[in-house]
Amino acid sequence: MSRSEFQTRLAARWRSAESMLCVGIDPELGRIPEHLREMEAPFFQFGKEIVDATAEHVCAFKPQAAHFAAEGFEDQLGHLIDYIRTTYPEIVIILDAKRGDVGSTAKLYAREAFERYQADAVTVNPYLGYDSLAPYFDYSDKGIVVLCRTSNPGSDWLQKSQLANSPLYLQVAEQVSKWDQGGQCMLVTGATYPEELAQVRSAVGDMPLLVPGVGAQGGSVKDVLAAGTDSQGYGLVISSSRGIIYAGDGEDFAAQAGIQAALVKKQINQAKS
C-alpha cells in the first residue's frame, strides 16, 4: 500500500527523533499555571512553552480542539498550530476534534482541520460510515485518525458488540483498512486494552495506531509495545497529555513537562528494545 505525505513524515520522525511519543495539549484555565492566566493569550503561551520544552522528545503533538473552543480561544489554537508547523516542521500535528458528520457538514469539518488550522491529521468518528470520512480522503497529503477501540471504560457497550461473529471495533479496523487506498489512515486504539490492540494490529498490518491511555489513564507502555508495534518495530503514536503537560504547576511547568516527556520517551524505547 502507498503512503501519504502524512504517513511518510510520521515514519521519518519516528526514526530521526527515535520516539513514538505524542504530547497532547489539553489546556484548562483552572489548571494552567497562575502566572499565565491573565495573559492576553494564555492557552497559546502555555502550549508554546510545552511545545518548546518537549519537542525533542516527540513524534507528534495533539492539540485538543474543544479545550480551546470552549473558552473562545480558537485563534490561539490556530496560532499554536502555526507555531509548531513553522518552528518544528518535522513534527506532525494531529488536531483532536473527533468530527463525525456527512455531506456538506463533513466537507466543512475537513476544510476547518486542513485549511483553517493547517493540521497534518484530524481525529474522526466513523459511526456514520464511509460518507463521514470521504471528504477527508480528498486531502490526499493529510492524515485521517479514525476512532476504533477507545480507552474509556464506557466504550464497551458499542465497540465490543458482536456483529457477524466479530466485535464492532475489529470490523471498523478491517473496513478502514479497505477504504485507505492512499495510506492516509490511523486508528485510535487505547492503551488500556492491550489484547485488543494486538487484534487491531493483526487486522490492519502496518497502519499506524494512535494510542491514548498511558500515564493518567493507567495504560502500560510495556504492554502497548508488546502488542502494537508494526513490522519495522514502530507504528505507534503513544499519546500522553495530562501526565506530561501538568507535571508541574509553577513557573517551571514547561521544564517539568520536558523532564516527564523525556522519561516517557525513555520508557517507550526501553520497552521497544
* pLDDT interval class at 41 (50, 70, 90): very high
CB neighbours of 271 closer than 8 A, spacing ≥ 6?
221, 222, 224, 225, 226
**Catalytic residue (one of 48, 62, 98, 142):** 98
Name residue 62's beta-bridge partners: 24
* pLDDT interval class at 213 (50, 70, 90): confident
* pLDDT interval class at 161 (50, 70, 90): confident
pLDDT one-digit tens code per residue, 229-265:
999 999 999 999 999 999 999 999 999 999 999 999 9
Model pLDDT, residue 215: 66
Identify the CATH number of the domain defined by range 5-272.
Answer: 3.20.20.70
Say how far apart CA 107 and CA 1 lie, in whole Å: 25
Model pLDDT, residue 218: 73
The half-sphere exposure of 67 on its side-chain side, counting CA atoms within 13 A, is: 23
142 part of the active site: no
Per DSSP (E only), the strands in the chain are 21-25, 60-63, 92-99, 121-124, 143-149, 162-163, 166-167, 185-189, 209-211, 236-240
Model pLDDT, residue 217: 67
pLDDT one-digit tens code per residue, 50-66:
999 999 999 999 999 99
The mean pLDDT value of the chain amounts to: 95
pTM: 0.96
- Residue ranges covered by each domain of the chain: 5-272
